Amino acid sequence: MDIEEIRSEFLKYTDAWQSTHTYRGRKSATKYYKNWLDEKPTSWDDVRAKHIRKWLTDMLSEEYAPRTCRQKAYAVSAMYEYAKEEDVLDPTFTNPVRACDKVQELEKTRVSEKSKREYLTVDEYRQLREAADSLRDRAVIVTLWSLGCRREEATKITIEDINREERTVDIETAKRGEMAEQEIRTIGYTNEFESMLSQWVDSGARNAWLGANDSDKLLITKEGDMMPDRITKIVRQTAKDAGIQEVYDEDVDGNDRYWVRAHLIRKSYGVHRVRNGLSLAMLQAALGHADIQTTREVYLNFRQKERNTQLRNTAPNT
């Protein structure tokens, strides 16, 4: 099967199962790749990482933005994976896009390129909270917003970790070794989190879930402990229901990347506290960053962007 045939089958599959946005992106990217490959002596099923590296280099030389190059590479990667699944290529065939180290370098530019804000406004958070489908889902949203924890950390919080008298929560830092500031950090919580506890825990709503007897965790499912992936799904769907969700990119497998996600809520925790005067050293401890440089790079960058926006908005008309 030549590249035009596999491309046609791949696009037919994409049109049937993926969004219009994804289909259009893959159609354009695979056409560009085919045209480039037509000028080379290598067939599409004999491409290796070195060829993908040359293709990316040519695109960058033509002044394509790194984000555009990355998206085209992801679309081509998805086509190779489709060909393997359909037995057009041997299952042992190495996807050349995944094998190319330069694609991973382009991945590092993804966050800095996004034109979309990297935090939720308070109003957007309220919309998210109110759109929660159940008290349990609302508890997930409020926990992430109130504590600034990672999704993995949220799933490990037990009822005993919560000190109602002191209004604090002990959080087990998800990242270990050099990446962790400390194994356990204690975070003070707000009236909103206390209100959530009253509605979710004190009222008996949590214990009414089938999985409550099999778990000592704050956040549970009908099967027991909640997994991080479940938090991802809850946040994604709740944001859609709230009307604030957006697709801003796609990953190497061609899956949509969503703007509102657990990590965005964690970033929002930091942004709003920096805006309200919290020091970077205190924020570093609250977020569990091992190195204050990590905190500085993210949140000083936010301050600089906000400052530049204010400078533009307050410039005199001339």
CATH number at residue 155: 1.10.443.10
183 lies in the same domain as 272: yes
Domain count, the chain: 2
List the chain pLDDT tens, one digit each, 318 residues.
Answer: 999 999 999 999 999 998 887 898 899 999 999 999 999 999 999 999 999 999 999 988 887 778 788 889 999 999 999 999 999 999 899 999 999 988 878 766 554 444 467 899 999 999 999 999 999 999 999 999 999 999 999 999 999 999 999 999 999 988 644 444 458 999 999 999 999 999 999 999 999 998 898 899 999 999 999 999 999 999 999 999 999 998 877 666 667 788 999 999 999 999 999 888 898 899 999 998 877 877 887 777 666 666 566 666 666 766
- Select from 49, 81, 113 the last residue of a domain: 113
Q: Are residues 136 and 82 in the same domain?
A: no
Question: Is 231 found in the same domain as 96?
Answer: no
- Residue 244 and residue 145 in one domain: yes
Q: Are residues 93 and 129 in the same domain?
A: no
Q: Is residue 317 part of a domain?
A: no
Q: Are residues 79 and 136 in the same domain?
A: no
What are the two backbone dihedrals, phi and then psi, of residue 221, each rounded to the nearest 5 degrees?
-120, 180
In terms of domains, do 245 and 147 share one?
Answer: yes
Task: Check whether residue 77 and residue 49 sit in a common domain.
Answer: yes
Residue 318 within a domain: no
The confidence score (pLDDT) of residue 183 equals 83
277 falls within a domain: yes
Distances (CA, A) of 85 to 5, 7, 10, 35: 15, 14, 11, 24
Indicate if 65 and 128 belong to the same structural domain: no
Q: Are residues 134 and 70 in the same domain?
A: no
Final residue of a structural domain among 88, 113, 138: 113
Domain hosting 241: range is: 122-312
170, 205: one domain? yes
